[in-house]
Amino acid sequence: AQSVTQPDIHITVSEGASLELRCNYSYGATPYLFWYVQSPGQGLQLLLKYFSGDTLVQGIKGFEAEFKRSQSSFNLRKPSVHWSDAAEYFCAVPTGTASKLTFGTGTRLQVTL
Amino acid sequence: DTEVTQTPKHLVMGMTNKKSLKCEQHMGHRAMYWYKQKAKKPPELMFVYSYEKLSINESVPSRFSPECPNSSLLNLHLHALQPEDSALYLCASSQAIVLNRDSRASNYGYTFGSGTRLTVV
């Protein structure tokens, strides 16, 4: 079954520094992959998604992600982090007939000023 | 309208109460979902409705009863809950339940509501 793993539970970066959040997937074929962000007490907001084609995907809020089949990864990046980016980030993959969105365990991002 | 609206935002209920959570979308999505999220955990799927029919129940206790009155509305009826049911309940919708690798896939995605924070006392 398709699954995603987020190795980092908690990451702290300084404002203005670059960011990379890791996501590894387990699936034989090319998966559909999503990144969501969740601010405290809020719902989930879609940052970006990958289906096929160009492996570098641009999202909202200045985020991008790169699909690397050789590494089974779909890491999220941002060149310069803002304090408002502090949140929980989830990588996700549809499973089965895409009726179930399965999430990674999440990475909590803390931004220091 | 590209939103999923959930009401109420906060709910406190006793273990003998009956309450309902509501979810509404007007994006023409034909698949709707209930997820449960405990603190510091990822969301976990509870139910899936496809074309107003229940297609997946992830072994959820019967004290949670979903209902999909029409293609825009999704309810979750609560009765005799336990304190451990306290959580954030998220509703989501999507265009279709089956992904196809065609031009429509570029529009595929799940839209989540902001959730209902439920506290059972």
Chain B residues closer than 8 Å to A45 by CB: 112
* pLDDT the model gives residue B96: 67
DSSP state of A28: S
The mean pLDDT value for A65-91 works out to 96
From chain A, the residues in CB contact with B39 under 8 A are none
A95 touches B at CB < 8 Å:
no
Average pLDDT, chain A: 91
Q: Do A43 and B90 touch (CB under 8 A)?
A: yes
Q: How confident is the model over A53-61, as a mean pLDDT?
A: 91
Tens of pLDDT, residues A85-94:
999 999 998 8
Instruction: Give dist(CA A88, CA A44) in Å, integer.
Output: 9
Over the stretch B48-58, which tens digit does the pLDDT of each residue have?
998 899 988 99
The tokens of B11 are what? 């709910």
Which of B67-71's residues contact partners 24+ apart within 8 Å by CB, and which partners?
Answer: B68/B32, B71/B28, B71/B29, B71/B30
pLDDT at B103: 39
Q: How much is the pLDDT for A54? A: 84
Bond before B8 cis per omega within 30 degrees: yes
B101 contacts on A by Cβ (under 8 Å): 51-52
Angle subtended at Cα B65 by Cα B59 and Cα B67, rounded to the nearest 5 degrees? 115
| Integer Cα distance of A51 and A99 in angstroms | 16
Q: Of A41, A44, A106, which has the smallest distance from its Cβ to B117's Cβ?
A: A41
Q: Which residue of B has its CA nearest to A108?
A: B40
SS3 assignment, position B103? helix
Q: A31 at the B interface (CB within 8 A)? A: no
Do the Cβ atoms of A46 and B88 come within 8 Å?
no
B104 falls in which pLDDT band (50, 70, 90)?
very low
Q: What percent of chain B has pLDDT over 70?
A: 88
Chain B residues touching A46 at Cβ < 8 A: 109-112
A42 or B114, greater pLDDT:
B114
- Separation CA B62–CA A78 (nearest Å): 44
Q: Distance between CA atoms of B72 and B64, rounded to whole angstroms?
A: 20
Q: What pairing do the DSSP bridges indicate for beta strands A24-26 and B53-57?
A: unpaired
For B20-49, what is the mean pLDDT?
A: 94
Average pLDDT over residues B87-99: 82
Q: Could you tell me which residues are beta bridge partners of residue A87?
A: A109
Give the integer Cα–Cα distance in Å for A91 and A49: 10
